[in-house]
Chains A and B, each alone.
Chain A
Amino acid sequence: MAEIRATKRLDITGDCCPITFVKTKLALEEMQPGEILEVLLAEGEPLNNVPRSLKFEGHKIHQVRKVGPNIYSLLVERGEDQ
């Protein structure tokens, strides 16, 4: 897979639901469609819930990687405005 570069990074590892998703949504809203956001989040509830909510809002997840104990990195492409 070609290397995807994020133009912005968001750390929500210390947040809980629904702040995790709200912060991600707000960050994406400040970006242009097609831009990539890297989100760092904890496994468990945030990892279970944030990606499915992003999908629902029309954003695209390109990659999910474990980057530390219980910490994951998501590469999210900002979707078109609905």
Chain B
Amino acid sequence: MTPDFHELKKGGFIKQQGPGLFLMRLRTIGGHLTARDLENLAKVATEYGRGEVHLTTRQGVEIPGVRLEDYQALIEEIKALNLLPGACGPRVRSIVACPGKEVCPNGVLDTREMTREIDRAFFGREVPVKFKIAVAACFNACTKPRENDVGLQGIVYPELVAERCRLCGLCQSICPGGAIKIIDEKVTINRQKCYGDGACIASCPTSAWVEAARGFVVFVGGKMGRNPRLGYKMFDFVPEDEVIPLIDSILTVFEQKRKGQERLADTVKRLGPELFRQLVSFPGPGEALRKANMAR
């Protein structure tokens, strides 16, 4: 059977070393797989490959040792099992994410939901060159957002409900930026020093610190490889519901302004991060941030 070239072009099926052999690349949503997915992966790798897989740096799973003549059957089986084909070539690659709030004690945002939305909106989109997106749920930045074309890093700004405070002193002791100080038996915060890591909200024993605004710091123009560069911190605060339109706009500006085989990092460097930022449409941090008194 002739393979479906349209399917093949979307990527995920890659020529490997050795005659006649290919590898099938699958993606995950932010590295999340169910036990059932793992069973299905094992089954497919045994049936079509050589009973082994490789875990990629972008949280994908590669099955080596697949034959071209088996491609059609394999891709159909993958779809039937709800496994997700990966991408290669000039496309938006699989979105990498940390476990986020649901699991990690430091997480301030639900990365799984955000990643699913980003995947749905952009995965596989054809861009002139490869394009990588990573999401982290706090400023520890485990998924290295700055090494990606677009990197998101969760941030949450606190607000004090003063009458709940029992002056235990905990928030002052754990605030990483030294923003919180107890002065004259009152808890105070210096907004300029707040890192947005949410430690005060998570720890306050009386829940006096509550969440006022939640969103992402967005880094743009990072890349690794031969000439690595860290992304610019281009947007200090992007509310969750602005993330998709923002990435869409970044992709559009990149498509319009890039030259030759430039990665986004090169385009941003050539234009200057400030000009690039001005070209991107972003309505601003919004009401939430003003309410949280964080607007700068």
Q: Does B167 contact A43, Cβ atoms closer than 8 Å? A: no
Contacting residues, chain B, for A63 (C-beta < 8 A): 168-169
Q: Does B199 contact A62, Cβ atoms closer than 8 Å? A: no
Of A52, A53, A72, chain B has the most CB atoms within 10 Å of the CB of A52
Asked, given contacts A53-B105, A61-B168, whether A66 binds B173 with beta carbons under 8 Å apart, the answer is yes
Q: Does A47 contact B173, Cβ atoms closer than 8 Å? A: yes
Contacting residues, chain A, for B173 (C-beta < 8 A): 43, 47, 64, 66, 72
Closest residue on chain A to residue B207 by CB atoms = A55
Q: Does any Cβ of A come within 8 Å of B21's Cβ?
A: no
A-B contact number at CB 8 A: 39
Q: Does any Cβ of B come within 8 Å of A49's Cβ?
A: yes
Q: Does any Cβ of A come within 8 Å of B190's Cβ?
A: no
Contacting residue for B205 out of A48, A55, A65, A72, CB 8 A: A55
Q: Does A52 contact B202, Cβ atoms closer than 8 Å? A: yes
Q: Does any Cβ of B come within 8 Å of A26's Cβ?
A: no
- Contacting B at CB under 8 A, from A35-82, are 43, 47-49, 51-55, 60-66, 72
Q: Does A49 contact B105, Cβ atoms closer than 8 Å? A: yes
Min CB–CB distance B217 → chain A (angstroms): 20
Contacting residues, chain A, for B168 (C-beta < 8 A): 61-64
Secondary structure call for the A interface: mixed
Tell me how many residues of A have a C-beta within 8 Å of chain B.
18
Contacting residues, chain B, for A49 (C-beta < 8 A): 105
Min CB–CB distance B271 → chain A (angstroms): 40
Closest residue on chain B to residue A44 by CB atoms = B174
Asked, given contacts A48-B174, A72-B173, whether A62 binds B105 with beta carbons under 8 Å apart, the answer is no
Contacting residues, chain A, for B170 (C-beta < 8 A): 51, 61, 64
A62 to B202, CA, bound (A): 16
A77 to B108, CA, bound (A): 26
- Contacting A at CB under 8 A, from B171-222, are 173-174, 199, 202-205
Q: Does B174 contact A51, Cβ atoms closer than 8 Å? A: yes
Closest residue on chain A to residue B205 by CB atoms = A61
Asked, given contacts A49-B105, A51-B174, A53-B105, whether A60 binds B169 with beta carbons under 8 Å apart, the answer is no
Q: Does A65 contact B169, Cβ atoms closer than 8 Å? A: yes
Contacting residues, chain B, for A52 (C-beta < 8 A): 105, 199, 202-203
Contacting residues, chain A, for B205 (C-beta < 8 A): 51, 54-55, 60-62
Which A positions have Cβ atoms within 8 angstroms of B? 1, 43, 47-49, 51-55, 60-66, 72
Top 3 A-B pairs, shortest CB-CB distance: A61-B205, A64-B169, A52-B203
Given contacts A47-B174, A55-B202, 10 further A-B contacts (CB under 8 A): A1-B166, A48-B174, A48-B203, A51-B174, A51-B205, A60-B205, A61-B168, A61-B170, A63-B168, A72-B173
